[in-house]
Amino acid sequence: MNQPSYPIPNPLQKPIVQDKKEFQSVLSEKKLNDLKISNHAQKRLEQRGLHLEENDYTQLNSAVDELEEKGSKNSLLLYKDLALIASIHNRTIITALDRDEVDTITNIDSTKFVKTQGLDRKEASSTDRLM
């Protein structure tokens, strides 16, 4: 009789398992760079002639990590001359304002003053403007 043949799995062959450390490394790397800027926030930054550098993203990402650990949902981030509203769960900057424009902010559950890395208070006041 002619019966169809099926592949027989080899019980000695081990399934492919990714290294847990490698996975954690990739996950950590992804987390460092996953802060997003909404189209609205990007337009607001452009209107003001401001842009964020890589070190700014690093600082803001660290602030979002801290707020996430504390259970925040929507936060006001005060960074340099900016006031940024962020959705912590989505890791997204929703809108951007100049600090001078801040009057009343609603629908947030936390505020974070993000310190500028590597500058003392005197230096920071003279270099706060993002260019």
In a domain, 6, yes or no: no
pLDDT in tens, 36-69: 999 999 999 999 998 899 999 999 999 999 999 9
- Using 70 as the pLDDT threshold, list the residues of the chain that sit under it: 1-33, 118-131
Alpha carbon separation from 106 to 1, 85, 93, 96, 103 (Å, rounded): 78, 10, 15, 14, 10
In a domain, 25, yes or no: no
In a domain, 11, yes or no: no
How close are the terminal C-alpha atoms of the chain, in Å?
80
pTM for the whole structure = 0.65
Number of independent structural domains in the chain: 1
Range(s) of the domain holding residue 78: 32-126
In a domain, 7, yes or no: no
